[in-house]
Structure 1
């Protein structure tokens, strides 16, 4: 283009549509629909642009709430009734669900995602008396419920046990159901085999209480299920009920997250996997405690892979904790790595960590694909851990300043960090003599919101709260021993630690005490102060 003044409307329809799709669709619709320009009005009605409406409102202040309500009113009155025939997917905040769903007919709506859900919303709206019954019963095939983890109303609701049943019964055509971050774990092992039935459900993502519940879901009541993503919270159960343990030839994709004690990996996990004889994709995130040997490539091949001839994608992180006195066969990192090379798996990593009479062995596929990594020590591989949001570090050897520089580099999106180490930093001892904080380059953790020093030497409280060593711009949750906090902050008067404490809204300490004026000035945004045992 050589024209000196080119406006947006000088671009072709194809380029304009590409630009609009790069923007937030709700903002574009609110700004451009019904403007005095027929061409723009036609473009924002384009089906490929309006088939998914993402309308999740975050209301923080009264001013924001007022603006959000104004936008929502405009959408419900002027916009949604005009484009509802193009909408196939809605992403909503639960509090705005009623206003949006009642504002139009949505003849082609099939997918619904609800944020900040709790069991009261489900039990109130997912019934035959619901004003959305027709939409839910006849239209929705894909449903994602994202629960608010900070709202725990389930224990107060006598009908909470049946929340999932409400959902399956009402959404008659449901094919995909995902329940994320639910405060209550699904428990159906004591219910009749006629409950939790569906002839249409093909994909299920859910947290369950025990292995019994997992086996119950796979006993034939969900006959069309081919994708199952499950997190088992508590694996130590006696399997007192008898379940159908036939093969699952229709299962194509399976993901399991669980923590096993003693022999539960061998008696629960492996028999379950062997039923999936035509599995194509497998994801395992498993913690094993109290074993006498490590899980390695040879064991995985002989106990899992040879039973899955159709498997084409295998993602895993398996952590095994063994007491040194019970270890039947010692193996180095290289030894374990070699067991994967021998079976043709090259993109695998192994990390061993020795902690107070125990050795913890991590084996995982590359790239690392999980959001939590627990109990790594001073030695970890220099690879990309950008998927990790929550990390526990634990060692009997001190973590020096350079270690936390490496953590910041290889875990760039880290949000939650727990430091477990009772040994003093040698660099901190040297620095106390020189009294020169400039010895340390400042570590940046731009995404870190939660820190735990519940089992840590006072040096690590100093390491993170001293802004000359670490910069924490978004720290909102802090768990720390109160005496150590007083030492590091010099009774809440030290300027060097004030900045990293200024954003804290939730403080968990080990004492219930009356706090001073200096304490509250030090934590000006504090909303909650808890005491842990």
Structure 2
């Protein structure tokens, strides 16, 4: 049988369009535009010229600017040919001025700024800047992103306030895509009440430092706000702002995330939720300390009865209680029964009692759609956690090998794992299988027994092909690695690029040979 080769250009236009739709528009335009008339037509197809993403993600998940030669050709030759179709641009901040000055963009409405640095960005948007008119008159959607720890909260707030001042047409602002380690949080308390003012903004994603900062955003300065997603670093009883009782009539979507433990749920969070009488979609992810567990009865009586228009309620609520004076110990089944005929979604519950007179109750919507899940114990089972990437394990009973086998399958996209457990494993010699954590990049063992260092660092127990950040006590590290000579832990350690421990130490020479990928 004679084999015939088919050239790319032998394919019909319909097939070429199907192929190019699956490719990055930047690559399509750079490779095909200007080759010949037919490929010009394919490259100019509207799908390729509406949305352009000039960002590149490196192997360590950092954003990098596009190559200078590629950018030069786009600015000089390609953008001037397609500018009238562009509606969305994604670019690294250092490239912003070159791209926006390449030509006019009459239909550009959406901008995503990568590696946003507030001080530099504000210099681009002075009254004398040639691009300030674009931001003032056209741009309606802005997303700012930075995975590095560069901006202080103060300078971040100044930069965001400047964006509000300049971008009069802004209806959507996502300023939440920053590192989650206390950086890049909006600080509004003690600032003028017109800071971050907008009469047009309808959708906001933001990280704030305190509950007071959240209340500031709901004090009327964003009068048209209808969708609000807020991640609050800390919610304390000592809030200095009186919780406004005025109804928030325009708010129809609200998502509240707070991963630190709070004892201010009843005095601050519940009164705020009661102001949202027109809410249609509600998402809560909270870790709460109070006298009793939160169940359906509480949610109905204290929150949901004030939201007659609510259609969707997604949540993970973890409640800690003291059991020192508890008479009735509610079980998982007791809590689960309160959610019979729950109309919003399927609900799972998990109740634990610990020897230190602490009770813990999780209630959560399934399947779990949130990406960060705290205080998972041995009592958890099921496979509802497909979207969770950041997990904290907590228990006062040991986590055994079979638990980690379950966890690796229940949390298939796990990227960050923290283990808080000082109890030694019981079945150290009964490990028979290697557990694969294919996406795990960050492992925190600072508050874990040394057995869990063995569990994860021995390549005969765990396969960690993408581990780049390891947090562990230095004493444990030296024991597990046998002073950086143990071949059984070498495989999982050799790709680590960042090591954090509890000591400032001058490492021995063998250390850097062992952690060969570590930045010195």
Q: Deviations over 1:325-360 (max 9, x none)?
A: 154642111111111115445501112233433122
Instruction: Please name the residue that 1:527 is paired with.
Output: 519
CA distance in 2, matches of 1:316, 1:328: 28
Partner of residue 203, structure 2: 203
**Cα deviation code 1:95-139 (max 9, x no counterpart):** 222221221211110000011112223332233233321211111
1:154 aligned residue:
152
Cα distance 1:97–1:345, how it changes in 2: closer, same or farther (>3 A)?
closer
1:329–1:292 distance in 2 versus 1, CA, 3 Å: farther
Query: In 2, are the aligned partners of 1:301 and 1:343 still within 8 Å (CA)?
Result: no
Cα shift readout 1:210-232 (whole Å, capped 9, x = no counterpart): 22222221121111111111111
Corresponding position of 1:354: 353
* Inter-partner Cα distance in structure 1 for 2:264 and 2:128: 44
Task: Return 5+ residue gaps in structure 1 as ranges.
Answer: 432-438, 529-533
Determine helix, strand or coil for the equivalent of 2:206: strand
Q: 1:5 to 1:404 in 2, by over 3 A?
A: same
- Given that 2:64 and 2:92 are in contact with CA atoms closer than 8 Å, whether structure 1 keeps it comes out as no
Kindly tell me the number of residue pairs found equivalent between the two proteins.
512
Which residue of the other structure, out of 150, 153, 164, is the alignment partner of 1:168?
A: 164
| TM superposition shift of 1:22 | 1.3
Moved more, 474-483 or 137-146: 474-483
Q: TM-score, normalised by structure 1?
A: 0.90
Name the SS of the counterpart of 1:117 in structure 2: coil
| Counterpart position of 2:340 | 341
Q: CA deviation at 1:40?
A: 2.0
Does the 8 Å CA contact 1:391/1:414 hold for their aligned counterparts?
yes
- The answer on whether the counterparts of 2:457 and 2:493 sit within 8 Å (CA) in structure 1 is yes
CA distance in 1, matches of 2:274, 2:327: 26
CA distance in 2, matches of 1:329, 1:14: 69
Instruction: Return the offset for 1:470.
Output: 0.5
1:16 positional shift: 2.9
Query: Partner of 1:495 in structure 2?
Result: 487
Match for residue 322 of structure 1? 321
Unaligned runs of 5+ in 2: none
**Does the 8 Å CA contact 1:59/1:68 hold for their aligned counterparts?**
no
Q: Give 1:261 shift.
A: 5.9
Partner of 2:56: 57
Residues 231-271 of structure 1, C-alpha deviation per residue, up to 9 Å, x if partnerless? 11121154434575311111111111125766521121111
Instruction: Give the CA deviation at 1:198.
Output: 1.1
Q: Determine the C-alpha separation between the residues in 2 that align with 1:204 and 1:478.
A: 34
User: 2:259, 2:266 → 1: CA distance?
Assistant: 12
Deviation, structure 1 residue 383: 1.5
SS of the residue aligned with 1:454?
A: coil
Deviation at 1:209, TM superposition (A): 1.8
Matched, 1:386 2:386: yes
Question: What displacement does 1:523 show?
Answer: 0.7
Instruction: Look up the SS of the partner of 1:456 in the other structure.
Output: coil
SS of equivalent residue, structure 2 residue 102? coil
Deviations 1:409-430 (CA, angstroms, capped at 9, x unpaired): 11111011112222222222x3
| 1:393-416: CA deviation from partner (whole Å, max 9, x where unpaired) | 122222111111111111111011
C-alpha contact 1:376 1:394 (8 A) present in aligned 2: yes
| SS at 1:317 equivalent | strand
For the Cα contact (< 8 Å) 2:65–2:95, is it kept in 1? no
In structure 2, do the counterparts of structure 1 residues 4 and 399 end up closer, same or farther at CA, with 3 Å as the change threshold? same
In structure 1, the partner of 2:115 is: 116
Tell me, in whole angstroms, the C-alpha distance in 2 between the residues paired with 1:141 and 1:328. Answer: 56
Residue in 2 that maps onto 1:434:
none
**2 CA distance for matches of 1:153 and 1:192?**
21
The 8 Å contact of residues 57 and 68 in structure 1, kept in 2 or not, is answered as: no
Q: CA deviation at 1:59?
A: 6.3
**2:102 paired with 1:103:** yes
CA contact (8 A) 1:404 1:443 kept: yes
Match of 1:276? 276
How do residues 294-313 of structure 1 correspond to structure 2 at under 5 angstroms? 294-313=293-312
Q: Cα distance 1:520–1:313, how it changes in 2: closer, same or farther (>3 A)? A: same
Deviations 1:59-85 (A, max 9, x none): 689xx9898222222211111111011
Contact 2:92 / 2:114 at 8 angstroms: preserved in 1?
A: yes
8 Å CA contact retained: 1:400, 1:427: yes
Q: Would you say the 8 A contact 1:113–1:143 is kept in 2?
A: yes
Q: Secondary structure at the match of 2:246?
A: coil
Moved more, 381-390 or 346-355: 346-355
TM-score, length-scaled by structure 2: 0.92
SS in 2 for 1:219: coil
The offset of 1:317, in angstroms, is 0.7
Q: What secondary structure sits across from 1:426 in the alignment?
A: coil
